């Protein structure tokens, strides 16, 4: 595939992403992105997103196919050997920072091969254009393989539960599921990691630091 074609495809992907509704940008890493292998990584990522869906939507995740909307992108790093995944998504919780902390805490606990809190970067979006440019920047090399279709989910694929079911009882159940998935201590530590990362990003404005740690 020629340079010009990939350039056009990437531009189309950027425009598509900018037309979507999302306010969270995340980077999910592994303890060792060089040895995890894409197959094993994707298996962990699929089970992770399934868990997130169940935490947020409970039984509706299966009954109504309710899932958190997300667009996921595989990256291999500057040397093509450090596998990790970036994603953008709309926060299903009103408190976007709380959602960021929940996502990080669930991933950090998910498996012995998933990275600790301080290595994953999950933050509210500050600059949508910069984020879309960043998540697609390996398109030049990987082409459409950078799009993790098996992990992505569009809200149009879901069947929303009846509005009357989204009541106070539903909110209480969701809060219980969140506590079950990430204890207050885990969320507190995730908040500390978020605060540190936010300060680092504000100081430099460089998304590339997410690759470095």
Query: What is the chain's pLDDT, residue by residue, as a tens digit (213 residues)?
Result: 566 787 888 888 889 899 999 999 999 999 988 888 888 999 999 999 999 999 999 998 888 888 999 999 887 765 556 788 899 999 999 999 999 999 999 999 999 999 999 999 999 999 999 999 888 876 666 555 566 677 878 866 555 555 545 566 788 999 999 999 999 999 999 999 999 998 988 887 766 655 555
pLDDT at 164: 46
DSSP codes of every residue in 55-111: HHHTTHHHHS-----BEEEEE-TTTT---EEEEEE--SSS-HHHHHHHHHHHHHHH-
DSSP codes of every residue in 144-167: GGGB-TTT-B-GGGS-PPPGGGSS
Tokens of 179: 């506590």
Burial of 143 from C-beta contacts in 10 A (0-12 / 13-18 / 19+): middle
Angstrom CA distances, 88 to 29, 46, 85, 169, 188, stand at 15, 16, 10, 29, 23
Asked whether the beta carbons of 32 and 113 are under 8 A apart, the reply is yes
Asked whether the beta carbons of 33 and 128 are under 8 A apart, the reply is no
pLDDT at 131: 92
Q: What is the signed CA dihedral for 121, 126, 128, 129, rounded to 10 degrees?
A: -100
Give the Cα separation of 136 and 148 in Å (integer): 12
* pTM: predicted TM-score of the whole model, two decimal places: 0.88
pLDDT at 62: 86
Angstrom CA distances, 172 to 42, 58, 167, 176, stand at 32, 11, 9, 6
State the Cα angle at 105 between 60 and 177, rounded to 5°.
30
pLDDT at 80: 58
């Amino acid at each position: 595939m020629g340079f010009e074609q990939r350039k056009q495809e990437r531009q189309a992907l950027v425009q598509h992403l900018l037309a979507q509704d999302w306010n969270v940008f995340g980077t999910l890493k592994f303890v060792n992105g060089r040895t995890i292998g894409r197959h094993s990584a994707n298996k962990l990522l699929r089970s992770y997103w399934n868990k997130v869906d169940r935490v947020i939507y409970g039984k509706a995740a299966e009954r109504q196919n309710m899932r958190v909307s997300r667009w996921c992108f595989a990256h291999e790093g500057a040397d093509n050997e450090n596998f990790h995944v970036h994603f953008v998504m709309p926060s299903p919780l009103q408190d976007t920072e709380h959602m960021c902390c929940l996502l990080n805490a669930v991933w950090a606990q998910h498996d012995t091969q998933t990275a600790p809190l301080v290595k994953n970067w999950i933050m509210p979006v500050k600059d949508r254009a910069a984020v879309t440019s960043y998540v697609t920047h390996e398109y030049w090399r990987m082409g459409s393989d950078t799009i993790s279709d098996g992990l992505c989910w569009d809200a149009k694929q879901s069947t929303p539960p009846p509005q009357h079911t989204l009541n106070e009882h539903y909110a209480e159940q969701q809060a219980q599921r969140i506590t079950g998935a990430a204890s207050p201590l885990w969320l507190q530590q995730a908040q500390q990691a978020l605060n540190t990362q936010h300060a680092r990003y504000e100081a430099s404005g460089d998304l590339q630091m997410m690759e470095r740690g």
